[in-house]
Amino acid sequence: MKILVTGAAGMIGQKLCARLAQDSALGGRTISSLHMVDVAAPVLAAAAFPVTVEAADIADPRLAPRLMASRPDIIFHLAAIVSGEAELDFDRGYAINLDGARLLLDAIRAENLKSSGAYRPRFVFASSIAVFGAPFPDAITDDFHLTPLTSYGTQKAIDELLLSDYTRKGFVDGVGIRLPTICVRPGRPNAAASGFFSNIIREPLVDRTATLPVPDTVRHTHATPRAAVGFLLHAATLDGERIGPRRNLSMPGVSVTVGEQIEALRRVAGDRAVALIERKPDALISRIVSGWPEKFTACRAIELGFVAETSFDDIIRTHIDDELGGTIP
């Protein structure tokens, strides 16, 4: 089985590729090769199969036909610029988040037509809960309409429609997974509007201060990087007949307020960690986040076997286990 991962240098991409290298198989099939692509060259320590690492721009129209020429069996399309950056740089957001996906889908279609329909890979697309926009019900159901309120959300929503249509036409076997905010993200703060959700947990756990730009009452849904990798792997192996024609799914997660996040941090790491959170209101971040949904039923995803954490305490402990060696410094 040949696998292609775009956005492979990103946090989730790195963890996904490491998991593929660790397992050497997916869905009971042996992995024969892995192609990792990102704007900066990805890194993978070791694998039992050949690995190709490439630095390239997903918006370059010459790239997708070349990637598809080898006809990968499974494509994980994770390449994107984050929400805050997409909102500030309109052109770049559409070039990467929309045109990049369209170029890949068109290149797959070209290979499909060349093979008279014999080539139809599983295309797993990392979408976002930003495809939804206010006003919201208490919990977003599987049939809630797409009304994004940001450029990033609009780009992801268009990608979802393209994925469904290319799947309907038989060019690709697509699955879109709407990721909740991934928390706690390892590394350093980035340009994502949602980055503070991780910052206020990750930084205090290692005795660093963190900035909180929104009120404690802000509610959001979260899942760990470990859960996100699990979502992707499960989406890659699901029977398409079980999914049916509605190919985009909202993933499960833990819905909590920022205040509840902070109390979970207090339970796990104590008052000293909480004291390192500094409140500095940011109008742009507050506006962006206020347009995001707070809670999901995720009934279809749960029925199809997608699994996430069930408490924010578990989310913090998973970060400690996976990123801090199981202990707080």
> From residue 263, how far is each of 249, 269, 289, 310 by CA, in Å?
30, 10, 21, 16
CA distance 80 to 86: 9
Is 119 tagged catalytic? no
Residues in contact with 121: Cβ distance below 8 Å, sequence separation at least 6, in sequence order: 71, 72, 73, 74, 75, 108, 172, 173
> From residue 177, how far is each of 145, 171, 246, 289, 306 by CA, in Å?
16, 19, 11, 20, 10
3-state SS, residue 192 = coil
What letter represents residue 224's amino acid?
T
CA distance 166 to 170: 6
CB 41 within 8 A of CB 14: no
122-128 and 74-77 beta bridge pairing:
parallel
CB 194 within 8 A of CB 212: no
DSSP assignment of 114-149, as one string? HTTT----EEEEEEEGGG--SS--SSB-TT------
CA distance 329 to 321: 12
State the catalytic residue, choosing from 94, 119, 152, 166. Answer: 152
What letter represents residue 62's amino acid?
R
CB 17 within 8 A of CB 33: no
- The catalytic site residues sit at 152
